[in-house]
Amino acid sequence: MHPAAPHHLPHFITAPGETDTLMVFATVLVIVGIMTIGVLFFRLHSLPERMGHKKFQFEIVAVLTLLSLFTHVHLFWVAGLLLALIDFPDFVTPLRRMSRALEKLAGIESPPETEPAVEAAHKPEVPQAPASPASGLPQTAPGV
């Protein structure tokens, strides 16, 4: 021991050539803390996407959260969270049912539900015989 050193050294001071357990413990603690904080940050950041996963506006919420992540503008994240919390009413289903009912009343055959609207728009129309006012059934061509 050096003559200038105090006779009683604290327990965290190690002798030369020995492992510094306090430094190893502090290093492990810092690495685990950084990883935990990172995981919590990304879990919190993806909260709007997880909340709005099954909704109509999912893509908009996902883009807003990515914009907030890469630009550090937190207003995008708040907007995505609010948009994920809002349930928009379903306007399409009642309108589709009304149009099918009107087509049925008019005697127009509607395309099946599984067929996309784009394909139905490009499909050539097959002319139908006009309905007979007396019988309510379509007239057949002569000789059939």
pLDDT tens per residue, range 47-75: 888 887 777 788 888 899 889 989 988 89
Is the pLDDT assigned to residue 141 strictly greater than 50? Answer: yes
Alpha carbon distances (Å) from 107 to 104, 112, 121, 126, 134: 5, 15, 19, 14, 15
CA–CA separation, 128 and 105 (whole Å): 16
The 10s digit of each residue's pLDDT in 106-134 is 888 777 765 444 444 445 555 565 555 55
Tell me the residue type at 35.
M
Express as a percent the part of the chain with pLDDT over 70: 75
What are the residues whose beta carbons fall under 8 Å from the beta carbon of 69, sequence distance 6 or more?
A: 45, 77
The whole domain housing 79 covers 22-85
141 in Cβ contact with 135 (< 8 Å): no
Q: Is 100 within a domain? A: no
Distance CA 10, CA 25 (A): 17
pLDDT exceeds 60 at position 14:
yes
In a domain, 101, yes or no: no
Task: Report d(CA 138, CA 126) in Å as an integer.
Answer: 14
Q: What is the per-residue pLDDT for 26?
A: 96
11: in domain: no
CA distances from 128 to 86, 131, 136, 137, 139 (A): 46, 9, 14, 12, 9
Q: How many CB atoms lie within 10 A of CB 14?
A: 13
- The count of domains in the chain is 1
pLDDT for 23:
92
Query: Does residue 62 lie in a domain region?
Result: yes
